Amino acid sequence: MNLKQNIIIALLAFGLCGARAAEPKWFAAPAMDQAPNLDLGLDDPAWAQALKIPFAQLENGPGDTTKYPTESYWLYANGSLFVAFQCVNPDSPKLWVTPNQMRDQSIYTQECVELFLGDFDGGFYYQLVFDAAGNIFDSSTKAGTGWNGDWKCQVTTQPGYWTAVIEIPAPILATLWTPGSFLTLDVTRHGFNPDGSGEEVATISPPGVHSPEDRVFLGSINPALLGENLTQAMKEFKKDFAKAPFTKEATEKLASLDAFATECGKAGDVTLERYRELHSRYVQSGRELAELKRDIVLDVIFGNGG
């Protein structure tokens, strides 16, 4: 394949990348020395130090008028992500749920919480669902419901609300997440009247239901992976276009991108705000690299680069 073919294919690939419709929610689950005891539910003292996030977005509008308020609590301990949910339902304990179901039944049509972990764009994610009776459903894009993950869930029901505490252990996280970077997810609450009518679907951010775009850091926040990814993209760029004619401006731009990749690699742990600044520059760097490819394409097609 010649240079012209390479760059046209690359340009098409970059041109097909779509922008996200809404800004995802970014947050950081604090690292704790002591993991919570799932059997204690939200009564475990560890949850007092967790990050608290209310569900604020209904599927079809703001969640401040919801009949079923939901609060979530996030922390990271012993290599596992722990999340607790307090799910208000005025009809509890009379809920739209069938107890004692076998694993992987269609419990997402009942009073439940549903998580997607991973990346729809990347093509790999897990789906974890648990209902108010403690039934669970899990699947992965590779194995479907044949994947039975080693995650834990403890549910209790009280008058007016129900709670759930889950643990997602290190082996599952390791397939999706690099320490210092973020885990991409979506979490959804399905609330019902006792007869199954009046479903209300709420989530924690505007990207919406079944769209894992929210980003949670587990413990440390470190932009090193941004630098590694950009460095790799630069290497591939230089390999693919080794024979391409570079202007002085393009050479300076490549040097600037190299310097930014080095900055990310040496930054160490940073605040969430600083990471978002660097991530914004990282995204812009990808656009700038795509623009360089475009300019080379135009030069090859209409100039003397072929």
Give me the pLDDT at residue 9, please. Answer: 46
| pLDDT tens, position by position, 1-30 | 455 545 444 444 444 344 444 567 899 999
| pLDDT tens, position by position, 230-239 | 999 999 988 8
Parts of the chain belonging to CATH 2.60.40.1190: 33-218
Is pLDDT at 123 greater than 80 in this prediction? no
| pLDDT tens, position by position, 96-115 | 999 999 999 999 999 999 99
Architecture of the CATH domain 33-218: Sandwich (2.60)
- Per-residue three-class SS string for the chain: CCHHHHHHHHHHHHHCCCCCCCCCCEEEECEECCCCCHHHHHHCHHHHHCEEEECCEECCEECCCCCCCEEEEEEEECCEEEEEEEEECCCCCCCCCCCCCCCCCCHHHCCEEEEEEEECCCCEEEEEEEECCCCEEEEECCCECCCCCCCEEEEEEECCEEEEEEEECHHHHCCCCCCCCEEEEEEEEEECCCCCCCCEEEECCCCCCCCCCEEEEECCCCCHHHHHHHHHHHHHHHHHCCCCCCCHHHHHHHHHHHHHHHHHHHCCCCCHHHHHHHHHHHHHHHHHHHHHHHHHHHHHHHCCCC
Tell me the whole-structure pTM to 2 decimals. Answer: 0.85
Give me the pLDDT at residue 16, please. Answer: 38
| pLDDT tens, position by position, 50-86 | 999 998 767 655 556 678 999 999 999 999 999 999 9
